[in-house]
Structure 1
Amino acid sequence: MNDQTAVLGLIDIASDARGWGFSRYILGKRPFHHIPGLLFCKVLGSGMNGGFSTTPSLTKQGFFCVFDSEHHAARFRESSLIVKAYENHAHEFFTATVKAYSSRGSWSGFSMSCSDPNPPSQGPIASLTRASIRPSKAIAFWKKAKPAEAAIAHASGKILTAGVGEAPYFRQATFTIWDNAQSLEQYAQQGAHLAAIKAAYGQSYFSESMFTRFKVIQARGVWQGKHVNIT
């Protein structure tokens, strides 16, 4: 039985640890090698203020790791040296442990598997949207992204939002947590976000994309001044 479980981390590096933080970009995925059960890993940066921005942040970072089981994901979150190192060098630190119930597309050729295709009947869910933006479509994409980001800031039922990515301008991702599936649907199917999605598909903005929704197993920590504790 498939038991894929992902851990997403968001980190705002402390002011006295910026050298260490910068070294994360140089090292990339190397500190994550040989972690038991790890299937997929991305080391991420973020835009200014932790959101979508054409100006990269110097301190806000992240990682996204997929494991073959909930056991290995929990072991990574609770006892891995790299997670503890991030936490020790952070001004803000947040992690979410999640299981996909819906996913389409891929990320660097990797596709998420779903153990249960049914969304939870109640309780929080998370969403990850990532894309490789075609260079010829970058300007058009960013024009659509700005209104969508402004809309999500005022969306009802949003618990947390973060803009992350592998590279500025062209490899972007958005991670959000919502009170329930209904809150996410209400945001996704109207206004600036709906217009952005229609444009992205209609005009082939992306060379690769992945849209995944998750059941939240656990989420805790601080991001952009907000404390989250979901167990």
Structure 2
Amino acid sequence: MDYIWFNYETPILQQLPHPLTEAAILLNPFIQMPNGWTAKKRKSEYEHVYPELEESLQLGIPKPWNQVMAGTGIQSYADLAIALMTSSSALKKEFARPDLAELLNRDLPNDLYYLREDNISEFFISDILDVLGSNGAGTLLYSDPIFDQNGELQIKSLTEITVCELAPQEIVLTNEKTDYAFLSVYDSFTTLVLSKEKKIEEIINQKKWEALICGPETYISWYYGKIELGSND
């Protein structure tokens, strides 16, 4: 399966390739590092630091959006998505909300870091491999649109780091049966999960993922509906 580019004018479910029929938007968790990690990591008080993959997997814990919202006063998942995307300049000026971005950044606790933009969260990988390896599947297939690379790997041989390093940003992961697919989304802090069977809600509950299940009117720009994304050039 090649990487899927979803447009912003058509609901997600109408764009799914056969045999996939269901979709959900997984909210990539924030990265909570141990207390005092930032101060120890910095060489000066002005240095910007961010945990590397190995550090976040070994020392960090995932912090869900609802807990961040409770600490910042942001009232909805949609507003938090807009705050994140405003901070990363992913929205055009007419859609950006500097007020939400300021609210998020002003009250962000020490040692709490933004989730990785354009990437599947490293905290999801173990569960993703488990899901892709269910129903007797043994092979992970991936497609990287940036470097136009595709490949196959044995699921049992993979580690979280190996999967995270398959592509720098956008990627789709599936198995040889195309039971499920997981996609990072450009200019986003979410992961799409697609399924050919009506099992998405069951999987989300089992894995305790924070997610929005896609309905007939859910767009890739779910936080606003139909919009156009781009840079602020």
Q: TM-score, normalised by structure 1?
A: 0.28
Q: Which structure is richer in relative contact order (CA contacts within 8 A, separation 6 or more)?
A: 2
TM-score, structure 2 as length reference: 0.28
